[in-house]
Amino acid sequence: MYGFEICVVCSCYVTSQCSKTNDCASCASVSVPSDVTIQHQYSITSLTVYLLCRLQQSIPSTSKSASLAMDTLSQEIIDQIASYLHWPRDTREQLLIVSKAFQNSVERKTLAKFYLRQGNTDNFLRLYSGERIRYLREVKFTSTFPTSQGDRNFSEGCREKPSDLLEKDELFTRQIGVLFSTLKSLEDRIGAEKMAGKLRLTIFPPRRSVDCRRCHHRVCVCWRVHLLNPGTLPQLCSIHTLKFKHRGWWSTTGWSHDSDSLDYQVPSKLDLRIMIDIASKLSKLERLKWKLDIFWDEMNSARRAERHYMQDWAGPHRDTRHDFAKAIDSVELPSSLKHVDLDFHRGAEDYMDQNEVRPNLVLPRHYDSFSSGLRMLSSQLVTLSLRIIADQTLFWPTDENAPNWPNLKYLHVEFTHYSPSGTWYFQGPQGEGSDTSPGYEITKAHYEPMEANSTDNEYDTKTRVGRYVTHTDTQFRIVPIERTLNPLLISFARAAACMPSLRKAVLCTCLEFNPRDIYDYYNDFLEEIEQKGGTNGDCNLMDWGIAYAKPGENIPIKGMGHTNCASRQFWWMTQDWRPDTTLCTLIHKIGAQQHGKEAIDHWASDQGHPWDTGRTLTRGL
């Protein structure tokens, strides 16, 4: 009757080695009927759950132990079974009625997070207003917009109008209000003391269905969605972590943006100050994360039509940075906030055409208020991780008043190849792109149009956006331009010396050298890079940066560094470039006051393969 046995802890065959105890005979096992065939590991796990769902009956076993009764299963086994609950609902329902222990384990697993939307708030409150609140750990909130009605055949064009943008702002504001009122109701029902700092809150950007066969423009709308009147939101005490991220994986390619599935619908871009306004309403907030990128594959496509539709217009980009800085100046963040991880430019280096002039994101101000605002935000933190367009004001103010970071222990900053003013930090090996003039001034022409225009009409008849994407491959900036880069490095060194609790710090960027389609004379240089790169699979992709670790700490970079080192350690992943005496002296002051002057320098160029850095620094601490 029974063909074989499987272990309900590790799901292996009873006749094979058990990864849990090294002896399946001592594990709890179940017998599988001989007429059931097993094709792969997932099926074994699924069958395990199915067999254990037999209501309150003993499960036959041919192992050394006696037959296993359902009510004698250990909690470890029950929790392991419950951990596989990505199967159909009827399987979960069977487990719920097996025993009280199974019910608790299943509910602990399935009720740990809730996907909240405007239409299911009553279900949420009904589910968690009683004893089940002890299981809730995370709320994930999705807002939606009505299906796009854009049509490129409209006489007035299919671009969004001011009334469309205001409608989206109002819809988003209304839905965020529903989120806050729902969580506030839950706190009032359960009690502030029991709810304090209990939950993680993830907010996904609004999604909407777009038929890109009728309109390409609305697949990548660069106007940001704003939160109106944030001061009217109630204070919440239940949130300890606030995260902004995309819901699932999304790409501009394909024709599925009109799908009923939210994961395929088009996400909107959020105004950066939204995170500050919402964070200011969370009195127990400890962690703030932002993982929303603004770069799509087609933004630097070799096809002009795709780039026209998918570009991130400079005007809205500049404005959202300035809005963020205004929010930092105008609101008070909770003193409990200690950990910040903000990734504004994931994938930026992959879609960058390094021959293009960059926009000046600073004007009309005289300094980058965005970098300055982040510096002000960081003063109370313990950990800070950033991926941004930044300059020296991120670390040091323009008024030269020495800042202070008394609690900062871990610092990781990955900067783009160019500064907020549009000047480049790097040039080509033979001086290509060495001009340090600021970028172009942003005018009304650098905002997404709202009316029909000749350019749209031209591309509407030619493009097939989303079918095949070929990128311009002009990555050649790998040599520092000291006039622009040194101020950033110096301010980093001065700031890090003002961090008495600092354990690890990294300042880096990712460089790529792949200019074959632009500079044919670099073919020989590519071979040289491959030799310098050693065995690195992506020899044209490398990290560039400087890292620090206090005594006893280590940053494992290509075998360099010492564990439990009694001295401070510095890593120079700068290829063949060397800092001048002034910069080197400032870098070596980091941690010197707290840990002494003894220091060890690790130079990538001394390791035989100076460019074999891979992607170590940019992966965080």
What digits encode the pLDDT tens for the residues 540-576?
677 899 999 999 999 888 778 888 899 999 999 998 8
What are the DSSP calls for 21-76, one per residue? TS-GGGS-EEEEETT----SHHHHHHHHHHHHTSTT--B---SSSPPBPGGG--HH
Segment 447-468 shows an average pLDDT of 68
* Average pLDDT of span 365-385: 95
List the domain boundaries for the chain: 2-109
pLDDT one-digit tens code per residue, 178-188: 999 999 999 99
How high is the pLDDT of residue 78? 67
Read off φ and ψ for residue 285, nearest 5 degrees: -65, 130
Report the mean per-residue pLDDT for the chain. 79
The pLDDT assigned to 616 comes to: 53
- Per-residue pLDDT band for 512 (boundaries 50, 70, 90) equals confident
pLDDT at 559: 74
pLDDT at 530 over 50: yes
Confidence of residue 619 (pLDDT cuts 50, 70, 90): low
Residue 97 has pLDDT above 60, yes or no: no
Answer whether residue 413 shows pLDDT above 80: yes
Q: Which residue has the higher pLDDT, 23 or 208?
A: 208
Rounded to an integer, the average pLDDT of 465-483 is 71
What is the reported pLDDT for 17?
45
pLDDT at 99 over 50: yes
Q: Is the pLDDT of residue 446 over 90?
A: yes
Report which residue type is found at 278: I
Name the band, by pLDDT with cuts 50, 70 and 90, for residue 451: confident
Q: How many CB atoms lie within 10 A of CB 425?
A: 23
pLDDT at 54 over 50: no
Check pLDDT > 70 for residue 215: no
Q: Which helix (H) or strand (E) holds 188?
A: helix 162-190
Give me the pLDDT at residue 390, please: 96
- The mean pLDDT of 92-103, rounded to a whole number, is 61
Residue 76: CB atoms within 10 A of its CB come to 12
pLDDT value at residue 566: 94
User: Please, which pLDDT band fits residue 454 given cuts at 50, 70 and 90?
Assistant: confident
pLDDT band of 82, cuts 50, 70, 90: low
Percent of the chain at pLDDT > 90 equals 48
pLDDT score, position 105: 72
Tokens of 562: 């010492």
pLDDT tens column, 139-156? 999 999 888 765 555 555
User: In terms of pLDDT, which residue wins out, 474 or 68?
Assistant: 474
Q: Which residues contact 517 (CB under 8 A, 6 or more apart)?
A: 472, 473, 474
Predicted confidence band at 21 (pLDDT cuts at 50, 70, 90)? Answer: very low
Identify which has the larger pLDDT, 193 or 39: 193
Q: How far is CA 458 from CA 139, 309, 434, 452, in A?
A: 45, 12, 35, 11
pLDDT at 324 over 60: yes
What average pLDDT does this structure show over 579-602?
Answer: 95
Is residue 381 within 8 A of residue 404, CB to CB? The reply is no
Residue % of the chain over a pLDDT of 70: 66
Predicted confidence (pLDDT) at residue 45 exceeds the cutoff of 70:
no
User: What mean pLDDT comes out for the span 52-56?
Assistant: 44
Paired tokens of 234: 């109630």
Task: Specify the 3-state DSSP secondary structure of 12.
Answer: coil
pLDDT at residue 18 greater than cutoff 90: no
Residue 361 token pair = 């994101």
> DSSP assignment, residue 416?
-
pLDDT higher than 70, residue 37 = no
**DSSP characters for 327-367?**
HHHHS---TT--EEEEES-TTGGGG--TTSPPB-SSTTSSS
Using one digit for the tens of pLDDT, what is the confidence trace for 488-506? 999 999 999 999 999 999 9
In terms of pTM, does the model score above 0.75?
Answer: yes
In tens, the pLDDT along 217-265 reads 777 778 999 999 999 999 999 999 999 998 766 555 555 555 556 666 7
